[in-house]
Amino acid sequence: MKGNLSKILSIVVAVIAIIGAILFIRIFMTDSEDLEALSSAVGTIVTYSTSLLYFAVGATIILSLIGLFTNPDNLKKTLLGLAVLGVVLVIAYFTADSAAVVDTQGVVLKGGEEGSSINQWVGTGIWYSVLLGAAASFFFVYDLVKGLIKS
């Protein structure tokens, strides 16, 4: 069964690659002066690539969810991890401010008025990155020290 699945997967990958190569060659065969034909050729490969991306993302999400629901221990760990990330997000949100965004002359930029929700969420993103980076740095140093002690 595993050998057959591998052969089928290899055939599917080869077909996808051949279709992509044909669409790519079609772009080079199109006259560069005929903008409508060139736009059509490029649009076709962009649509094909976008479809492949959506399929890959969808397959990844579906297979990940199947894997989570078939293994309850992993589901618990994932939900715990999401809860921790949610707590860090709440901390980052309340740490961020919504102060006005000014340029080098001190003039408030358009859309950067004080109290703007955009300012709040940008600040949240910055603090979220800082807090996750600090946690990652802590665990990196912790693991490094733990490894040195074991040696």
Q: What would the pLDDT profile of 5-19 be if each residue is shown by its tens digit?
A: 889 989 999 999 999
β-pair partners for 108? 102
- Both tokens of 76, joined, read 């618990």
Q: What is the mean pLDDT of residues 61-72?
A: 90
The neighbour count for residue 92, using CB atoms within 10 Å, is 20
pLDDT value for 1: 59
pLDDT value for 107: 82
d(CA 69, CA 63) in angstroms, rounded, equals 10
pLDDT value for 98: 79
Interacting residues of 30 by C-beta distance below 8 A, sequence separation 6+? 37, 38, 41
pLDDT value for 109: 78
Q: Check pLDDT > 90 for residue 83.
A: yes
Q: Check pLDDT > 70 for residue 2.
A: no
When mean pLDDT is compared across 85-89, 103-107, 145-149, the lowest value belongs to: 103-107
Q: Check pLDDT > 90 for residue 88.
A: yes
Q: What confidence tier does 119 reach under pLDDT thresholds 50, 70, 90?
A: confident
Cα→Cα distances 123→49, 86, 136, Å: 34, 16, 20
Percent with pLDDT over 70 in the chain: 97
Q: Check pLDDT > 90 for residue 108.
A: no
Comparing 30 with 145, the larger pLDDT belongs to: 145
